[in-house]
Amino acid sequence: MAQSSARLTFNSLVRPGWGIIGVTLFLLLMSIKPCLGQEKKAETWMGILKVGPQQLRLQLRLKPEKDGSYSGAMVSLDQVATPIPFDTVKRTSTQLAFEIKKLGVSFAGDMNADQTAVSGVFTQGLKFNIEFKLIDGWKPAKHVSTWVGKMEAGPKQFDFQFRIYVDFEGKKSIQLDSLTEGINGLEGDFEQEGDQITMTIPATAAKVVGKLDAEGKELGGTWVQSGAKIPLVLKRIPIEQTKSPELKRPQTPKPPFDYESEDFKVQARSVDSNYSNEVVLAGTVTMPTGKGPFPTVILTSGSGPQDRDETIFEHRPFLVIADHLTKIGFAVVRYDDRGIGESKGNFIEATTADLADDLEAVFEWAKKNTKIDSKRIILVGHSEGGIIGPMVASRNADVAGVVLLAGTGVAGREIVLNQTRGIAAVAGLPEKVLDLQDELLRLVIARSKEGLPMDGDFVESLNGVFADLSEDERLKYGLNDVATKTILVFKSKWMKYFLEFDPATTLSKTHCPVLSLIGEKDLQVDPQLNMPAIKRAMDKAVNQDFTQVLLPGLNHLFQKCDTGSPSNYVTIEQTLDDSMLSEMSSWLETRFK
């Protein structure tokens, strides 16, 4: 299924995606009114966010600027030590407050009398009391050198860039960029004794230990993490050759736009018990110029916590689609998942059925909008969104059409087995490991279906699946803790529903025009597995207007690619291939304009 952009969520309540490792980076911009009568200084605030048994250290950094505002960063030290931007922030002598819309995060607190502590409420779906204390700490540092290297970890290769900084006291620190994964700015410690260097990265519990050569231009060392020790050679390059941490996304639309755009909010009808009065879906609708009413597309995202642009690795595919379709005469509605961005609710407890109820609420809202033609509303869903669209269309005869962008046609248990093996095979895992991986997944899927506990002896039995592999092989392929990690994924409410739901049951009841697009190299929704199943369901529905297109050379995100591996999503600059946009817009224009 489509992945999340691996957004940081400080309560760690993020449904894991399949086969993606990455962190979306942001620049933090703060605008704060100056405290009159006081000389403003750089500040560091620390707080402990208690989430069940977890304690997450949050750090707020404030740096005064010449214009009286502040700049700085917020960092989750126990997750990925990357600055997160505030959309709004207020710092006075009596209060500190901020908001991060993309994560649905906000904080508001009151200062004590001497402005050394601020106590308040941190909100991200749930509410947590937290106190931040003013400490001595972060100061701006100067970038003094850059080191690059390639590490081979089993079948995977990672390109690293280490940026070395020195602060005003002469203390060195690092920022690690994993260029392969699009993970930038992981902060760490730098220690040197003679020609021996140690770099520690707390966010990943990893360190690099190595020795400088005589010229000080090469560091021969070892990457140490989770018991594994992997050779890593770093070479010093001129600072001007340092790669920018910013990812190039040339297709992202930029203002000014020649169409209208407005935000909206919708109360969802079906909600979980914890949020019976708080599930509100927030989104954006773009309208062509003119009076309307316009044919309208509603975009629904794939699995994982998604914002209205379906942002992933700084790609914003739904924004690209909205811009493209609005320019050819369609209104386009896109919205944040419940509990994400500006929407309210509890995302972690939501199943695919709950998310279908959310889409239906947006659909009902759209029908009442005077600029939208209620008889020409098309549901366009990517990945899991391609399951959700037919769920709504099958029970609403007034849905005008459905577009499946990498939508599935078989039950989730088949998707999980198929995509996990396909992704691992492209990564280079040998057949014997692929077979053992399948065995483990089948055991967990069966256990989940039976509703039996996944602990104790069962965990031991799963670990036993790889008993015939050597310790070196288990380390090489990252299998030592795979049983525990897999069980955590399969315990979620969403996964239990996803495994058993067969999208053919609603596809076979969908009688409006349907377009199904799948990339030839999609490893997450395999066209060979899903296209025939979707066709069978459409035949059962006796659907008279069904179109299915296999798009050559495209992956799950509809990018032009070589292998289809999710590990390449971040490195590909293209957000959406023109062939997908052309097929979809042509189909829509023919039927609905």
CATH of the domain at 171: 2.40.128.30
**Paired residues of 331 in beta bridges:** 296
**For residue 202, is it within any domain?**
yes
**For residue 18, is it within any domain?**
no
**For residue 248, is it within any domain?**
no
Q: Which of 524, 577, 584, 528 is nearest to 2 (CA)?
A: 524
**Co-location of 330 and 223 in the same domain:** no
Domain ranges, residue 82: 43-135
**Co-location of 185 and 112 in the same domain:** no
Distance in angstroms (rounded) separating the CA atoms of residues 265 and 283: 6
**Co-location of 537 and 586 in the same domain:** yes
* The two three-digit tokens of residue 340, written as one number: 């994400």
Distance in angstroms (rounded) separating the CA atoms of residues 586 and 564: 25
**Co-location of 381 and 426 in the same domain:** no
550 Rama sector, left if φ>0, alpha if ψ -120 to 50, beta otherwise: beta
Residue 272 belongs to domain with CATH number: 3.40.50.1820
**Paired residues of 312 in beta bridges:** 315
**Co-location of 302 and 341 in the same domain:** yes
Pairing of strands 401-405, 372-382: parallel
Distance in angstroms (rounded) separating the CA atoms of residues 231 and 547: 51
**For residue 92, is it within any domain?**
yes
547 Cβ contact partners less than 8 Å away, ≥ 6 residues apart: 513, 514, 515, 516, 587
Number of domains in the chain: 4
Question: One digit per residue, pLDDT tens: the chain, 593 residues?
Answer: 443 322 222 222 223 332 222 222 222 222 222 333 345 677 888 888 887 666 777 888 877 777 777 777 787 766 655 667 777 778 888 888 888 776 778 888 999 988 889 999 998 877 889 999 887 755 557 889 999 998 887 667 788 999 998 876 688 888 888 888 777 777 788 999 999 999 998 767 789 999 999 999 999 999 988 777 888 999 999 999 998 767 789 999 998 999 999 999 998 865 445 445 578 999 999 999 988 899 999 999 999 889 999 998 889 999 999 999 999 999 999 999 998 888 888 888 889 999 999 999 999 999 999 999 999 999 999 999 999 999 999 999 999 999 999 999 999 999 999 999 999 998 888 999 999 999 999 999 999 888 888 888 888 889 889 989 888 788 777 787 788 888 888 888 899 999 999 999 999 999 999 999 999 999 999 999 999 999 999 999 999 999 999 999 999 999 999 999 988 888 899 999 999 999 999 999 999 98
**Co-location of 434 and 342 in the same domain:** no
**For residue 291, is it within any domain?**
yes
505 Cβ contact partners less than 8 Å away, ≥ 6 residues apart: none
**Co-location of 512 and 572 in the same domain:** yes
**For residue 23, is it within any domain?**
no
3-class secondary structure, 32: coil
Q: Which of 203, 383, 357, 332 is nearest to 279 (CA)?
A: 357
**Co-location of 198 and 69 in the same domain:** no
The domain boundary, picked from 85, 118, 135, lies at 135
The domain boundary, picked from 497, 522, 556, lies at 497
**Co-location of 405 and 417 in the same domain:** no
- Supply φ then ψ for residue 426, to 5 degrees: -65, -30
Distance in angstroms (rounded) separating the CA atoms of residues 489 and 279: 24
**Co-location of 476 and 520 in the same domain:** no
**Paired residues of 237 in beta bridges:** 146
* The two three-digit tokens of residue 463, written as one number: 């670990």
How is residue 466 annotated by DSSP? Answer: G
CB neighbourhood size of 353 (10 A): 14
**Co-location of 77 and 208 in the same domain:** no
**For residue 354, is it within any domain?**
yes
**For residue 19, is it within any domain?**
no
How is residue 267 annotated by DSSP? Answer: E
3-class secondary structure, 90: strand
**Co-location of 322 and 402 in the same domain:** yes
Residue 108: C-alpha distances to residues 28, 97, 475 (Å) = 18, 4, 45
CA-based torsion, 531, 423, 355, 403: positive or negative: negative
404 Rama sector, left if φ>0, alpha if ψ -120 to 50, beta otherwise: beta
The domain boundary, picked from 135, 169, 192, lies at 135
